[in-house]
């Protein structure tokens, strides 16, 4: 039935969404890697450091680091000056 199809679609849609905390704010997003998240948010190409659940993630590991429900992500922007 149409109701069953709608319920199934809603279930699968919910399964690909997750909640994470980014710089102290709750964010609901699709399941992605850290690299994909940073790309979607326009961070790539900028100077920053990333801490995931209390541990620094090296830039070389961004594409190998999946984000998961409940993760706590801190993005620290580098500020130049002299």
Question: pLDDT tens across 10-62, in order?
Answer: 555 445 678 899 999 999 888 789 999 999 889 888 899 999 999 999 999 99
**Which one is predicted more confidently, 21 or 9?**
21
Strands 48-52 and 72-77, how do they pair? antiparallel
Dihedral Cα 60, 66, 68, 72, nearest 10 deg: 10
The beta strands (E) that lie in 1-82 are given as: 17-22, 25-30, 48-52, 55-56, 72-77
pTM: 0.74
Return all residues near 78 (Cβ < 8 A) that are at least 6 apart: 47, 48, 49
Q: DSSP 3-state assignment of 43?
A: coil
């Amino acid at each position: 039935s149409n109701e069953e199809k709608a319920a199934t679609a809603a279930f699968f849609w919910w399964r690909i969404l997750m909640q994470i905390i980014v710089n102290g704010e709750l964010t609901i997003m699709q399941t992605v890697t850290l690299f994909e998240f940073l790309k979607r948010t326009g961070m790539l190409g900028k100077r920053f450091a990333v801490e995931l659940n209390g541990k620094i993630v090296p830039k070389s590991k961004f594409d190998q680091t999946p984000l998961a429900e409940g993760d706590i992500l801190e993005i620290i922007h580098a500020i130049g000056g002299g």
